Amino acid sequence: MKKKIFSGVQPTGNLHLGNYIGAIHNFVKLQNDVTNDCVYCVVDLHAVTNKIEPKVLKNNIRETAAVFIASGIDPKNSIIFNQSSVPAHAECSWIFSCTARIGWLNRMTQFKEKAGKDREKASIGLYIYPILMAADIILYDTTHVPVGEDQKQHLELARDIAQKFNLEFKTPNFLKVPEPLIQKKFSRIMSLKDGTKKMSKSDLSDLSRINLNDNNDNIFNKIKKAKTDNDSMPDNKEHMENRYELKNLYNIYSSLNDQTEAKTITEFSNKNFSYFKIKLAELIISKIEPISKEINKLKKDTDYIDKILKEGSEKADLIASKKVKEIKEILGF
Catalytic residues: 114, 198, 201
C-alpha neighbours within 13 Å on the C-beta side of residue 123: 10
Contact (Cβ atoms closer than 8 angstroms) between residue 132 and residue 45:
yes
- Give the integer Cα–Cα distance in Å for 188 and 186: 6
SS (H, E, C) 37-88: EEEEEECHHHHCCCCCCHHHHHHHHHHHHHHHHHHCCCCCCEEEEEHHHCCH
Nearest CA to 134 among 81, 103, 98, 109? 98
The answer to whether the CB of 97 falls within 8 A of the CB of 66 is no
Side-chain half-sphere of 330: how many Cα atoms within 13 Å?
Answer: 18
CA distance 252 to 91: 40
Distance CA 129, CA 292 (A): 31
**Selection from 213, 172, 195, 101 nearest residue 330 by Cα:** 172
* Cβ–Cβ under 8 Å, residues 191 and 200: yes
- Indicate if the alpha-carbon torsion angle 61, 63, 67, 69 is positive or negative: positive
Q: Is the dihedral of CA 294, 204, 149, 47 positive or negative?
A: negative
